[in-house]
Structure 1
């Protein structure tokens, strides 16, 4: 056979390989190898064609029989790659490592390197050094020997600074911490391997932007020589990742959404986009994305990871979430985010042991990421193992010192250890970080931080500051029963029992089965009953009168309850009505005939008895009204005109890092990973009628009617609000 025909067949093989017609390439490469009596270059092309056709063992046997793997690194790499594709990890390592005469192992024999000759169409041995280190690192990582794998990846990227796969394994799999990543970048021989300064600057920029994921995003500075990289999708993905790790989820989501519009299946962007959809609780968009991925790429782990994350957002479908997340780990057991989500599914059902097992696996796979250590600490905190919780929180803080989640949990751990000064420092740092985020902050997510600041200041007996933080939390979440209880708790310490009872009533209106709030309410009521007796209305100062003298004063219905400061308490008497001229009348008040209340107070020589004081007990939710007695009879009946506040009952859920009302118990829980600020005011004058409807307080100023000698207050719709009063 002439050399021209053989060269023609070799060109046909190369042409079909470039066209991805591997079956045709395999057919002609087999003929070329036979015609050349298995020349090294033809054997290499034939083995490559078999590898492309996934005939791995056949390709390995072809090379080993001719012992070409002992002479050329390219054949050595191809044989090891075939065994690794069959998951024969030990056989692959045996091929890669050569035993030296001194007993040590090496990737390449020095003797073989000296004897190897250059073959056309086969890469040189020096060109394959980085690939051999990369493959060796992949094998060790698959065998869960991650420390050696990381060393192999470092050697690969140092042998060839353009070997992005090795660099991506180190960074994408979170094998290194921030300082180790920076040391690696500084140790790369860019100046030696790059042919120009411009090439060196480009390489440093592309690697540097992937390293600083915990740094502030800032403005992207692209070298002038490569200004067009502003629109590169990989660069945009790296920028979105920075926003994500700085808790700027909405900004990051906008970037990833634009990326997927240009490239719907961008491999580096998809895991980040799925995490953002979970954080922002966009279940509908996540369902659509998962459906598209499964229908097009059922063999990829990201497809089933998206399905598992969708079910993770459904409260009662955690079993389905675990099923699909487990399938993700079977496809790629190194997929760290799937292990994190797998732990979340157990933690949401209070299965702490299984959750921690999943988090520990994630921590081994993501050594340079702070999230696994944060969640392990949370589980230990929930199970009251505060020492281990603080240890893992400290590890997370070392990796990511500016994450407000970590700072918040460190504050909770300090509170548990009764180190309130340190807790205040951590909480204030977290609050400062949140204020920097602005609209990125989720209202519901950061309400526990304000409440916890209130708890700590209460422990430090700084009650006004504690009350301020609790009221700020109430503005963020007006329907939080916990916050109402917290405010009532602080007010009771401040001696403001009346307002404390009001807030505790509102808390029970939102969550009636809260045992702590009910017990606290009973205690505050007992303290209130032992305190000074209050009277209603504004008392105008007047000289002390003889016991038999009386005087009148005007009562304003809008006046609030005040404490009586007189040495001799006065007993309210039966009100009389008078018209505008001051004459007594029994006419019904109306807009054209306004009436005013007049009270007669009798100064007594003795203090009011506890039985009489009961007349002044009032409910703290709803309208507060007076109790009346006749002029010649002692007060003996509680004629409470108030109505209890009614409202929807909200389920009691545990928020991340929430400190319980009990001083000895501090909660810590946050699942799921979302932010916009809002302002509002709390209204304490809301009135509810007997049917639960909201009523205007001004409606209770009219009219007053008499029925059978009893005076009855009613609203415009004749809703009766009080029992009868003895005359």
Structure 2
């Protein structure tokens, strides 16, 4: 091929790529500004009858009367003889078909008129995606390079479970259009990217000074403000020393034995990304904007501050009871707080208004899960997944419904599916590790928990589970270090994970025969939960083993307290009998009576 022909072909391709852009704007412009100089407006002005039909079509479309809009748009296309106006009329009719969910009609219409470039390709691909014809959607977008085409192509790849290409296209879309909030939310909220990728994405997004508030919003969705020190090891040692002081542990605790594994997370950043506190963002925050409330609720929930998460999400729900973004957090809080009546109302409200939405059936599943009807809950989660296979909450709920009934194989299979489909979700790795720990497969449990720790090193549950494994392996100093880590990461929380880590720390001191510190820890546990038979047993057992003054009488007192809260504890009954016998042998009958 000659150089001239090559240049001609290249020029033609470039002009074709720029063809049929901004069609949504061009098609609607004559309705709002009939005197504009656009080709389409000029064509309509030359024919008043067609202009009237066009106005009827657009008015119906904007008011949501899509069938009526289709009627007028079809007549307009039939009557028009102006080839210049033809693409705009075809696109208008395609818009109306799409809005009326007649997806096959959109693609067939464009194909009939041989209009498959630019915005025609994008709208056609959106229709094919909605019709679950994902391969055809990708094919029609082969020659397209706009940000919208990247977005739709990414959706098609995601539906085909090709996460790598989906993420690649979403990244391309955000590079071209950084204000595409929906794509950013899809990447972050659907756990499609790892922590490193979140960090890199936020750093790469370039926004103007007028859009600084949007950058703050992006940052707020990816950064954990409670822990922002780039030197995690130093930060941990300092915080652990504070925890030791708060717990009034008598002797110095060795906290330098373990160095945390290298972290790859936006929560502990190599370079701090400062929030700009843009005036618009601050104003939205003061006005309790619903999206900002949602971000705060999620952040509080993942920091195990359930009470605050509930308060933030409830404020959002009061603004809009059907605000889908906050509902998973709101429902999770209700489950944690055992607010079954409120959970029932939420589920009923969603089913009544959105019976075909996957999230509605997820909430119904959570309600049945809260009432311990796990088989029924499982069916609701499965129905939710059938409606939307990308709703991660339903997958996790389904796995939990098996795990709680000790059906480990099914639960593990689903957890593994979650790790494949949602690579940024560390919780699935945690649950896999917990299942392995439950079956005493300690080495494999460590591998899963380390994977979770790589994604999010600041989750106290991960640290607590690693501590339990070290405890089982009789590596008590290592276990103690993990439990202190967990206490650092949930120090502002009243969640049961704090109680669990503190109680485990007490048992670790007891195993090391450091009974004074063990007793100190268990007494702190009682301040968190004064009706736990396990805590009172731990305190009683520590007193029983120690040689502190009046330790035997205190042990007997706390054994009784533990049994008063739960009477069917065989080991506690045996230890109480032994303590009473020892007291009798020592002639301490006055303490027994």
TM-score of Structure 1 vs Structure 2, range by shorter chain: 0.7 to 0.9
Alignment of 1:102-501 (within 5 A): 107-108=143-144, 129-190=146-207, 194=208, 197-199=209-211, 201-212=212-223, 215=226, 222-224=277-279, 227-230=282-285, 231=287, 232-315=289-372, 317-434=373-490, 436-437=491-492, 440-442=493-495, 446-494=498-546, 500=555
Query: Counterparts of 1:492 and 1:353 in 2: how far apart (Å)?
Result: 41
- Per the alignment, residue 30 of structure 1 pairs with 74
Q: 1:360 to 1:185 in 2, by over 3 A?
A: same
- Picking from 22, 44, 54, the partner of 1:10 is 54
8 Å Cα contact 2:213-2:279 kept in structure 1: no
Equivalent position SS for 1:162: coil
Going from structure 1 to structure 2, the CA distance change for 1:15 and 1:215 (only over 3 Å counts) comes to farther
Instruction: Please name the residue that 1:122 is paired with.
Output: none
Larger RCO, structures 1/2 (Cα 8 Å, 6+ apart): 2
Deviation of 1:149 (Å): 0.8
Give the secondary-structure state (helix, strand or coil) at the position aligned to 1:211: coil
User: Contact 1:173 / 1:365 at 8 angstroms: preserved in 2?
Assistant: no
The answer to whether structure 1 residue 89 and structure 2 residue 134 are counterparts is: yes
Aligned to 1:697: none
In 1, distance between residues paired with 2:562 and 2:283?
Answer: 58
Cα contact 2:214–2:281 (8 A) shared by 1: no
SS class of match (2:221): helix
Which digits, 9 at most, give the CA deviation of each residue in 1:274-307, with x for residues without a partner?
1111122211111111111111111222222111
Alpha-carbon contact 2:219-2:275 (below 8 Å) kept: no
Query: Per-residue displacement from partner, 1:365-418 (whole Å, max 9, x unpaired)?
Result: 433233222222111111111112222222222333232222211211221222
Worse-matched range after superposition: 496-505 or 234-243 = 496-505
Aligned counterparts of 1:222 and 1:499: Cα–Cα separation in 2: 55
1:3–1:426 distance in 2 versus 1, CA, 3 Å: same
Q: Is this contact kept in 2: 1:177–1:367, CA < 8 A?
A: yes
**Residues 33 and 213 (structure 1 numbering): CA distance in 2 closer, same or farther, change over 3 Å?**
farther
1:366 touches 1:372 (CA, 8 Å); kept in 2? no
Summarize the Cα distance change of 1:11–1:326 in structure 2 as closer, same or farther, 3 Å threshold: same
Q: TM-score, structure 2 length as denominator? A: 0.77
Runs of at least 5 residues in structure 2 that lack an aligned partner in the other structure = 1-43, 229-273
Q: Structure 1 residue 154: deviation in Å?
A: 0.5
The residue aligned with 1:670 is: none
Q: Flag the 1:15–1:519 CA change in 2: closer, same or farther, 3 A.
A: same
Q: CA RMSD in A?
A: 2.9
Kindly state the Cα deviation for residue 73 of structure 1 after the two structures are TM-superposed.
1.6
Match of 2:231 in 1: none
Q: 1:583 is matched with which residue?
A: none
- Provide the secondary structure at the position in 2 that maps to 1:467: helix
Counterpart CA distance in 1 for 2:505 and 2:133 is: 56
Q: Specify the alignment match of 2:109 in structure 1.
A: 62
In the alignment, the residues of structure 1 paired with residue 454 and residue 512 of structure 2 have an alpha-carbon distance, to the nearest angstrom, of 28
Aligned pair in 2 of structure 1 residues 278, 535: CA closer, same or farther (>3 Å)? closer
Point out where structure 1 has 5 or more consecutive residues left out of the alignment: 98-106, 109-125, 538-559, 562-619, 624-727
Distance in 2 (CA, whole Å) between partners of 1:477 and 1:213 is 28
Higher deviation after alignment, 229-238 or 4-13: 4-13
Q: How many residues align?
A: 497
Q: Deviations over 1:648-684 (max 9, x none)?
A: xxxxxxxxxxxxxxxxxxxxxxxxxxxxxxxxxxxxx
Greater helix share, structure number: 2
Judge conservation of contact 1:136–1:149 (CA < 8 Å) in 2: yes
Q: Deviations over 1:313-361 (max 9, x none)?
A: 113x111211212111111111011111222222221222222223223
Give the distance between the partners of 1:161 and 1:451, measured in 2 at CA. 47
Shift of 1:141: 0.9
Partners of 1:214 and 1:246 within 8 A in 2: no
Distance in 2, matches of 1:19 and 1:433, equals 51
Measure the CA separation in 1 of the matches of 2:528 and 2:125.
Answer: 60
Give the 3 Å change call, closer, same or farther, for CA 255–477 of structure 1 in structure 2: closer
Structure 1 contact 12–25 (Cα < 8 Å) conserved: yes
Mapped to 2, the partners of 1:269 and 1:290 lie a distance apart of 14
Provide closer, same or farther for how the CA distance between residues 501 and 248 of structure 1 changes in structure 2, counting only shifts above 3 A.
closer
Q: Which of the pair is proportionally richer in strand?
A: 1
Distance 1:215 1:144, change over 3 A: farther
TM-superposition CA deviations, 1:243-293 (whole Å, max 9, x none): 222122211211221222222222212222111111222111111111111
CA contact (8 A) 2:104 2:127 kept: yes
SS of 2:64 mapped into structure 1? coil
Residues 503, 215 of structure 1: alpha-carbon distance in 2 compared, 3 angstrom cutoff: closer
C-alpha separation in 1, matches of 2:475 and 2:139: 56
Q: Is the 8 A contact 1:363 1:372 kept in 2?
A: yes
Question: Structure 2 vs 1, CA of residues 262 and 415 (structure 1 numbering), >3 Å: closer, same or farther?
Answer: same
Distance 1:36 1:338, change over 3 A: same
> How far apart in 1 are the matches of 2:170 and 2:461?
32
**Alignment-derived partner of residue 713 in structure 1:** none
- Residue 321 of structure 2 aligns to a residue in which SS? coil
The verdict on how the C-alpha distance between 1:497 and 1:94 changes in structure 2, with shifts beyond 3 A counting, is: same
